[in-house]
Amino acid sequence: MRIDEAAPVAAPRSNLDEAMRRLLRIRPDEEQSAAGARSAFSKSLLFTTVRCMLTYVLLPVLRPVVDLSGGVGPVLGLVVSLISAVAIIVSMRRFWAADHRARWAYTAVGGGILVLLVVQSSLDVLALLD
């Protein structure tokens, strides 16, 4: 870059933005593209959709068969919930690393889904303990 060219200046981040970046362990030099954030969002929604379809549609229909195989339903629910949670957190990190304008909205939606995953996982653990 030539000396007379001005380098782009990043907009200052609020204290809440900085706190969230620390919580998500985003390094100051870590940047992502908005396209990467959207791609991660799409993948996390796909995992969450698959988990919901399994939990609320497929497993209830197949419950008699699944129960005969030794409680596979709760274990499958835990595995799929874990994959969904990881995908949501990865996409949150990408939204925040890209300083995407919808990062707070996605954090609220993703956080709500994470809470529901924790509740569902707790129910799966209780089912395994019975």
Mean pLDDT of 94-121: 90
The pLDDT assigned to 100 comes to 86
Question: Is 7 within a domain?
Answer: no
Q: Is the pLDDT of residue 130 over 90?
A: no
Rounded (5°) CA angle 115-121-127: 145
Mean pLDDT of 101-106: 90
Look at residues 77, 97, 85, 82 and name the one whose alpha carbon lies nearest to residue 25.
97
Task: Return the half-sphere exposure (C-beta side, CA atoms, 13 A cut-off) of residue 60.
Answer: 6
Range(s) of the domain holding residue 96: 32-129
**Helices assigned H by DSSP within the chain:** 15-23, 34-53, 59-68, 72-97, 103-129
Question: Is 60 within a domain?
Answer: yes
The pLDDT assigned to 81 comes to 87
Rounded Cα gap, residues 77 and 55, in angstroms: 7
The pLDDT assigned to 70 comes to 61
Backbone phi and psi for residue 26, each to the nearest 5 degrees, phi listed first: -95, 120
**Residue keyed to tokens 């001005």:** 6
52 versus 7: which is more confidently predicted?
A: 52
The pLDDT assigned to 68 comes to 52
The sign one gets for the Cα dihedral 49, 55, 61, 67 is positive
pLDDT digits (tens, 9 = 90+) for 15-74: 999 999 999 999 887 777 777 777 777 887 787 788 778 777 877 777 776 565 566 778
Question: Is 45 within a domain?
Answer: yes
Q: Is the pLDDT of residue 8 over 70?
A: no
Rounded Cα gap, residues 20 and 9, in angstroms: 21
Backbone phi and psi for residue 123, each to the nearest 5 degrees, phi listed first: -65, -35
| Domains: count for the chain | 1
pTM for the model stands at 0.72
Mean pLDDT of 4-24: 75
Question: Is 11 within a domain?
Answer: no
Mean pLDDT of 7-11: 54
Question: Is 82 within a domain?
Answer: yes
Question: Is 10 within a domain?
Answer: no
